A and B are shown apart, each in its own frame.
Chain A
């Protein structure tokens, strides 16, 4: 731009996206992350904001069927996409996976747990009989400040067992 067109620079981006089956039309600044849009514009606060740098996995959501760190996706990039958040999992009550997290005592402060559950759900959908090594590998992007890793892995193993036997 030779003459800076300030109105264009500051104009919000119009975005239409589907979150948990509901269409949303938003107008957001270009730098608004999908994470902030989900929490602040749409009001679904189950998805957590922790590092906001792609390091911890607290913000994990499904984007067109694959898990992503929503702090590393712009809301504008999600135009036409379908997003699944932690709220979508338990509409009919707790899932088997969430029950196992509780049963294993894997939830301490709870901040990392929505992200852990989403990442574990993604793993079990593609690999319902995941072994501990595969679980640790698949969960390596989800940090737990309370260091509940043993119990988190145990919970996922238990859920894998349940899904394996119900097939």
Chain B
């Protein structure tokens, strides 16, 4: 039978998870979790609601050097935040296409990455911005780059007695620009067939976050600067970068189509980023 717990402090969350012996599931928006619960109502799951925990980081906190997201930050919170839109346009664009408005009002950013879906909408953007994930458990806190957080489809390095306490994004450097591109079968309430977040630095290095073309969201970066005005050079760089993609066929697309589209979307995302207005760094 499903059980429900509503702890009010972080220590209690960790204790509840460890008492649940692997059956604990963190609940914030519930937009994926509760669908699973409904399919298997007899599983001995212990749902641990984080929404009454008093000592969590605030949903969104903007400081001089970074932006911090707590577990309760929803997609709608991100979508509505003009400070974020200026600094992290690819992330805000991704948050705006998740599900429907009613879903975005519930779905949390951290829940989205903890599901570790290869097609998760926000992961490619978080990856290019160098997101760092802080996980808390019995042994205290540990912080790792998001790129090391994903292990496989639905799998992360977060243990059964642990949970993600916050995600930090450093403010982008001066002149950094970014964009998000996503392909779906229909507009609205569909998972991505392929998605790409692209970041370009003032010096011309390109970073790509790729969704739905590997067992986890992927991060890849050019070794040297690229002349962003030179169409052929960009095309070559993108071709090399997307070499890490290993798409498979599923109900949303065939492998070959994904392979072809990842190149198209990556080129579009890079040129959209290059054309966009750059951010101001933390010093100004």
Contact = CB atoms under 8 A, between A and B. Distances in A.
B236 interface: no
Contacts of B38: 31, 33, 52-53
Interface residues of B, number: 33
Contacts of A73: 30, 34, 106
Interface stretch (B96-104, B149-157, B161-169, B205-213): B96-104
Given A30-B4, A76-B6, A77-B49, A57 B30 contact: no
A137 B188 contact: yes
B9 to A, nearest CB: 17
B105 A141 contact: no
Contact of A67 (B2, B29, B101): B101
Nearest to A15: B4
Interface residues on chain A, size class? 35 or more
Contacts of B21: 1-2
Given A52-B38, A140-B189, A30 B103 contact: no
19 contacts: A9-B44, A29-B1, A53-B38, A54-B35, A66-B76, A68-B105, A69-B31, A69-B102, A69-B103, A72-B35, A73-B30, A73-B34, A77-B27, A77-B49, A140-B100, A140-B187, A141-B99, A141-B189, A142-B100
A119 interface: yes
A28 to B, nearest CB: 10
Given A1-B21, A77-B49, A31 B101 contact: no
B113 to A, nearest CB: 19
Contacts of A54: 31, 34-35, 99, 103
A79 B6 contact: yes
Nearest to A115: B102
Interface of A: 1-2, 8-10, 13, 29-31, 33, 52-55, 57, 60, 63, 66-69, 71-74, 76-77, 79, 119, 122, 137-138, 140-142
A30 B35 contact: no
Contacts of B31: 54, 69, 72
Interface in B41-72: 41, 44, 47, 49, 51-52
Nearest to A75: B4
A137 B187 CA distance: 9
A154 to B, nearest CB: 19
Contacts of B41: 31
Given A66-B105, A141-B99, A74 B1 contact: no
A134 B241 CA distance: 36
